[in-house]
A and B are shown apart, each in its own frame.
Chain A
Amino acid sequence: QKEVEQNSGPLSVPEGAIASLNCTYSDRGSQSFFWYRQYSGKSPELIMSIYSNGDKEDGRFTAQLNKASQYVSLLIRDSQPSDSATYLCAVKNYGQNFVFGPGTRLSVLP
């Protein structure tokens, strides 16, 4: 059973701080990694995708991938109350289905 694990939270950070969201996965052959943001009552929206080891930055978001440790993380710099949402990690091995984690609920406190 391929699994993706995330701390369910809630993770609370003060406004302006860095939020760090973590995800581990069991399928060592996974090649594609994604972070989605889901506001309450809404559908998931793609934030970042990452395919190779290292960091990938997009605005205030940085995705970090370490395939040897089977670990992917999302850093949100200068966190804003509007970042409060559930963040879903998804992992994919070529030719197989996407596997989603249960999500981490982030709360950014004003």
Chain B
Amino acid sequence: DGGITQSPKYLFRKEGQNVTLSCEQNLNHDAMYWYRQDPGQGLRLIYYSQIVNDFQKGDIAEGYSVSREKKESFPLTVTSAQKNPTAFYLCASSNYLAGIQETQYFGPGTRLLVL
């Protein structure tokens, strides 16, 4: 069953703590993305990666870090520098090499709450 998995579904962060959100895909997609969504708001791009061992900052990268050591995996770390991390985090992937028909698909999301 192909798709994108994210874990955990809910994550609680304490002050000063770094937390890591997992994202795995078995769609054989080259590109992966992390978005943040605040209540009633649209999607904001945090980081994206088009190939293994390479990634680029999106619009709101400050306070976040990523790695792309495997094609299937793109974990996101929310660092203590991110002062307002409470949000819904969405991982996505796309078939980057499909040209005009490149399509983005989303995982189920992780909801991060601050204790």
Contacts and interface: CB of A to CB of B under 8 A. Distances in A.
B110 to A, nearest CB: 10
A67 to B, nearest CB: 13
B55 interface: no
Nearest to A8: B40
Interface in B44-75: 45, 48, 58
A42 B109 contact: yes
A100 B42 contact: yes
Contacts of A43: 90, 106-109
Contacts of B107: 43
A33 to B, nearest CB: 11
Contacts of B101: 32, 49, 51
Interface in A41-87: 42-46, 49, 51
A31 B100 contact: yes
A102 B41 contact: yes
Interface residues on B, range: 20 to 34
Interface residues on A, range: 20 to 34
Interface in A79-103: 88, 90, 92, 94, 97-98, 100-103
B43 A34 contact: no
A66 to B, nearest CB: 18
Contact of B108 (A36, A42, A51): A42
Contacts of B103: 32, 34, 46, 49
Contacts of B104: 34, 46, 90, 98
A86 to B, nearest CB: 9
Contacts of A98: 33, 94, 104
Contact of B90 (A32, A44, A51, A94): A44
9 contacts: A36-B106, A42-B108, A43-B106, A46-B104, A88-B43, A92-B102, A97-B58, A98-B33, A101-B42
Interface of B: 33, 41-43, 45, 48, 58, 90, 94, 99-109
